[in-house]
């Protein structure tokens, strides 16, 4: 079994032998392989070796202080797969700090496992130990690096933990099952969010803030001061207990406000054993990242928020509320098409140019400066925002068009005031209070200082069937909206699954969609 001690030794060949692979390294002459048609897109002080070979699998090791870019390693693997479709290629990049395993899915999409050699996570150790050699090593790598399998495992652990916490709350209080289930989901949602901001270093600059503080009195001495004393309280108003937790940001999104359940049960204490099990078996077993664009890595990211909460709802509840998760690929296409339709203002030539830009093709767009100014003025409303996926996607598309070539800072061309305007021009509504809170924290994770997400009925327009996304141009408007049914107290969407996108520019063209 692979342990942290194995990894600290930083001997990749010994690691492979521990996993049961026969290792006989052969150094590859990169120039010869390039002449044979294999794409090796790196030079410099990097060593490439074929470390182990089976009838189904070739294991390559890439070593150097500065490892090749992941895209270059993916191109290398794809060229090998094209050269020999019967053998699965896997590349292991290693230097003194990190070990990274790269492979390809059945559709030849890149997958990756990142391992910190000095501080490996429980998730990384689990994935590595799944790689123990067997009768079908190629399938073993597929199982260990498959992101869908990882997602299902997280769902199951999360769902089980919600049930365990709810059961404990019902034993300790007089609350109904429905009320306890809702509070348990809220507690797990808070912990999930904490694992995202922990990876950003926002919990006192520590990547293991929570697990390192799991001691006696977890709920009273750690979680309650963290939730209410820090995350829900401005820094200058915190008491001594909260300040002892260190440098913690103040979040005013509502997720960490005391719920009505907590107000009814102020003395509730969950057992240390239960909370320790939840932290160690649900969250410590997985890696977390807010980088949703990194589809290759084996981690949990904010995009999965929608999947998690759809998985916790029964079929009738999903149907009645219209709560259906839309995959990010579909979200990105819909958001991009909506923005392009609005920018082009009915001009087919401009629309074609913008679609080519989105595909990454070189093109000289007419009136690029005026289009950029129009893009700065776009106002977007998602009236059934769920966890905020459509708003995040639209935001990323806007930033992408204001990013310098080669820049690692999205939207680096925007001034501070322009970026603030983009933040304020994206708005969302939902019928569920928890979804509103989760959408707010999702946008907060993406840099929004004060996300404009509201519960339906709080400022929701009731006089129109379709709520347009108004812009500075009266000639063109774009609406991602849903039918509203007026009630005495408010208007709310009949179903977030019946969303329409309406574009009007010197005429009327309507495109309707029904998310999956």
Bridge partners of residue 288, in order along the sequence: 300
* 407 neighbors 434 (Cβ within 8 angstroms): no
Structure token pair of residue 197? 């901001």
Residue pair 345/375 in contact by the 8 Å Cβ criterion: no
What is the predicted pLDDT for the residue at 274?
95
In sequence order, what DSSP letters do the residues of 281-335 get, joined into one string?
A: IIITTS-B-S-TT-TTB--B-TTHHHHHHHHTS-HHHHHHHT-----HHHHHHHH
Cα–Cα distance between 420 and 48 in angstroms, integer? Answer: 47
488's CB contacts (< 8 A; 6+ apart) are: none
Residue 77 structure tokens = 């693997």
pLDDT for residue 166: 95
Tell which phi-psi region holds residue 476, choosing left (phi > 0), alpha (psi between -120 and 50) or beta: beta
Phi then psi for residue 179, to 5 deg, are -65, -45
Torsion-angle region of 403 (φ positive above 0: left; ψ -120 to 50: alpha; else: beta) = beta
Runs of H (alpha helix) within 200-227: 218, 224
Report the 10 Å Cβ neighbour count for 515.
Answer: 18
From the number of C-beta atoms within 10 Å of its C-beta (0-12, 13-18, 19+), residue 360 rates as exposed
Q: Are strands 509-512 and 499-505 parallel, antiparallel or unpaired?
A: antiparallel
DSSP letter assigned to residue 117? S
In this structure, are residues 23 and 17 in contact, taking their beta carbons and an 8 Å threshold? yes
160 CB neighbour count, 10 Å cutoff: 13
| pTM listed for this prediction | 0.71
Q: Residue 72, exposed/middle/buried by CB under 10 A (0-12, 13-18, 19+)? A: middle
Show the tokens assigned to 253: 């999104």
pLDDT of the residue at 432: 81
Residue 482 CA to residue 383 CA, distance in Å, equals 7
Q: What is the pLDDT of residue 496?
A: 31
Residue with tokens 């399998």: 149
- Mean pLDDT for back-to-back runs of 10 residues, the chain (516 residues): 80 89 92 92 88 93 91 94 92 91 89 88 85 84 81 86 95 93 91 89 90 87 94 93 93 84 93 93 85 67 70 63 74 88 84 79 76 83 88 90 83 89 91 83 85 75 37 33 29 30 28 31
Which residue blocks in 453-495 are alpha helix, DSSP H?
none
């Amino acid at each position: 079994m692979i342990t942290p001690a194995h990894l600290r030794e930083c001997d990749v060949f010994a690691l492979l032998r521990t996993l049961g692979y026969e290792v006989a390294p052969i150094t590859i002459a990169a120039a010869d392989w390039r002449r044979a048609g294999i794409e090796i897109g790196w030079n410099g002080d990097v060593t490439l070796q074929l470390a182990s070979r089976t009838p189904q699998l070739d294991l390559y090791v890439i070593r150097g202080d500065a490892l090749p870019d992941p895209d270059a390693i993916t191109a290398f693997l794809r060229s090998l797969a094209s050269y020999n479709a019967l053998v699965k290629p896997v590349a292991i990049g290693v230097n003194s700090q990190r070990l990274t395993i790269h492979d390809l899915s059945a559709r030849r999409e890149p997958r990756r496992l990142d391992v910190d050699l000095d501080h490996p996570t429980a998730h990384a150790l689990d994935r590595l130990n799944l790689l123990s050699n067997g009768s079908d090593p190629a399938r073993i790598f597929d199982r260990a690096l498959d992101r869908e399998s990882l997602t299902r495992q997280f769902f199951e652990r999360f769902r089980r933990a919600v049930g365990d916490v709810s059961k404990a709350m019902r034993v300790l209080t007089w609350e109904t099952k429905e009320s306890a289930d809702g509070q348990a989901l809220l507690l797990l949602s808070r912990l999930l969010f904490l694992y995202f901001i922990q990876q950003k270093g926002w919990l006192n600059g520590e990547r293991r803030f929570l697990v390192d503080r799991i001691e006696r009195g977890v709920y009273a001495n750690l979680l309650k001061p963290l939730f209410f004393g820090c995350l829900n309280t401005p820094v200058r108003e915190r008491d001594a207990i909260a300040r002892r937790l260190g440098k913690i940001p103040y979040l005013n999104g509502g997720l960490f406000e005391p719920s009505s359940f907590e107000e009814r049960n102020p003395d509730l204490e969950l057992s240390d054993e239960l909370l320790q099990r939840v932290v160690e078996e649900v969250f410590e077993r997985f890696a977390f990242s807010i980088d949703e664009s990194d589809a290759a890595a084996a981690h949990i990211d904010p995009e999965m928020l929608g999947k998690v909460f759809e998985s916790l709802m029964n079929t009738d509840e999903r149907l009645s509320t219209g709560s259906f998760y839309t995959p990010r690929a579909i979200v990105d296409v819909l958001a991009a098409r909506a923005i392009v339709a609005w920018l082009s203002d009915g001009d087919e030539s401009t629309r074609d140019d913008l679609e080519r830009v989105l595909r990454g093709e070189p093109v000289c767009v007419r009136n690029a400066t005026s289009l950029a100014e129009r893009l700065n003025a776009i106002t977007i409303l998602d009236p059934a925002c769920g966890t905020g996926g459509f708003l995040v996607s639209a935001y990323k598309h806007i930033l992408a068009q204001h990013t310098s070539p080669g820049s690692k800072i999205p939207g680096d061309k925007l001034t501070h005031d322009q970026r603030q305007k983009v933040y304020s021009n994206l708005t969302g509504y939902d019928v569920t209070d928890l979804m509103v809170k989760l959408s707010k924290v999702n946008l907060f994770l993406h840099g929004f200082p004060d996300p404009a997400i509201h519960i339906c009925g709080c400022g929701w327009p009731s006089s129109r069937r379709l709520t347009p996304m108004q812009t500075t141009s009266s000639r063109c408007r774009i609406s991602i909206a849903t039918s509203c049914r007026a009630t005495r107290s408010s208007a709310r969407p009949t179903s977030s699954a019946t969303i329409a996108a309406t574009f009007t520019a010197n005429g009327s063209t309507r495109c309707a969609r029904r998310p999956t």
